[in-house]
Structure 1
């Protein structure tokens, strides 16, 4: 028994020493920072520092000393923890499908397949699953920041107008206008009656141009300007190259604009903005349409709905019935009381099937019955027009620029407020 006890004691002692030795060899993670009810682990700090150093080495970038770098990294991780804490309270989630789509987009931006992208991550000695989860955290953080900061930003119409003015001044030298010019001349030594008569002729010319008459043809026939035989084409000029009288009224005008009559020493000038280059011009097409909608139901089959519309179309085509009257009688939905009128709209705003049907029609043509997600339709295209959306584009651009400026400032203020209200304790780093 004594021998067995000695063996048992020796075994326990050996195991204890081995366990103690093993414990010394295993480096346990530790808490680097306490943030409210959460923590930042030392392994997270080390991992981010290593990643930054690795990227800096790749890009031949100089980094600050390790102590300064560690301060920056800890600050970022504290901010991330606070934001993710809010995300948890808000219930913000990123599904695996959303995450996969984001990473696939990142791969495409780098001209890589998803598998090639994954291999590149692994080649950089980064755990791919950890990388995925970090991307998920970044997506959640981004959504929380946007939703929290957006409501703090207000952009006034005056701010947009002021920025547009600055943008215009910065781009004026790059914008060129191709101008058409018609001069309704005064006779030599004109009296007031001559000048009045010239103005009347100029106003008649403007009325013709606004009604769609050909500018070049009228210029050749009626203009007393030096470029009359060239259709009044003055060529490309920027604001600084134009006569002052022209530049004052041309600046900022859209393609196709006819201006005048402008009184000069020679007579009355009429100017048309034939084209613009050096600035982005955005045009959108709008369509005007009306429709009759029949929605299938338990008592009205798909086939019956289609057949009814075929009959209505035949009545419209033959002239037996008016489209609006039939729409009021048969059409489902809110447009029936207006005779099926939809008004002017961007066709892209419609159901894809409806948009495709309109695209295939000529003006005043009635479609064959077609199915959309709402039911069966016949549609008539009553008009098509192209609008210059450049002004709206520039206003949107100005709004976006102002938003981005304010977002950066407000985001910094928001984070500062979060930190001021949070419990944050940075624990001392173990001395080595």
Structure 2
């Protein structure tokens, strides 16, 4: 049976915590998806100057330089270097677009409170395997003020929320589209699936002691058998009469339906262009001369597969008795004990976890993509079996996650439809976002002043 992994792409802006995927960079932060260039607070230094104005807000040369350098480094890391002028052009365009979208978010009354910013800050620290204090020390070392960093996170969240409101909420996927997509996937994957073949074979054996003259006679006999088979004589009867295979042609030379890779390459290549019923040219192998007939050809059935993860977690819920900072410190200590072998994950989960899975040692069972909230799933997907993540902040509290196993499993009909809907939604989101961003930009007053230096 041929198995294929279902193509699944993550949706951008799936929740207001898009910056949970933020990775710390010396120049600042970046977020995955369209929120990657959220504008940072404008600080005009004496050596700085304004290169553009978006409605009433300036974009400075220093901002463009910083973002351009970051884009260059990111492109280099991905193996697609960009030159400095092109990086500056892209950076300026990105900053202008983000300014216009942030202004639209504020006009729409979208507000990001300090608690959301705090959760995002904790998530950045967690994703970079740092405590909050460690992250703030790193910011200070890189010359970034905490207030500027938090304002940047606030802007990223603003961008995400306005995009969710203006774009994501308008996307609709019909059942007809889902069905059509699934049929296209099965058709495309069936075309790539290896064929199963049923061949008939007649073997004219060549003994090791045969002379050259004897070999020529045996070859001539094989060619005559092939000619008679092509002219319409019954292949099974010819096999019974002439074949010197192990079964002496008792079964009419039928070798049975099997995956193509279970036949010798010589046979597969010889019949590759033949239709069902076609007879091959005479083939020579170490055993002798072969005549093949294609009795049956089928495509292997396709089973859509999905990568499932088995994980366990410890959850501490936040409240008056437990702050986020306290939970992070507690789980960081527990992680060290578990990783070093001083504590057992399952036992700690049974004793401390405030989730329904505690009785099972935190075991969440086998999970397909989309079963957990995005911030949890993103962290889980980055782990290899046996790895324990740094504490993660989610909307439910603070988690300690360990991946115990991973497998490819056949998808149920419901899973196929759910994931098909997600893929279609992601595609429509990309298209709708581009159109929306262009519309926001076209409505903004943009004045280009000085060239970027």
TM range (shorter): 0.3 to 0.5
Higher helix share: 1
Higher relative contact order (CA 8 A, sep 6+): 2
TM-score, length-normalised on structure 2? 0.39
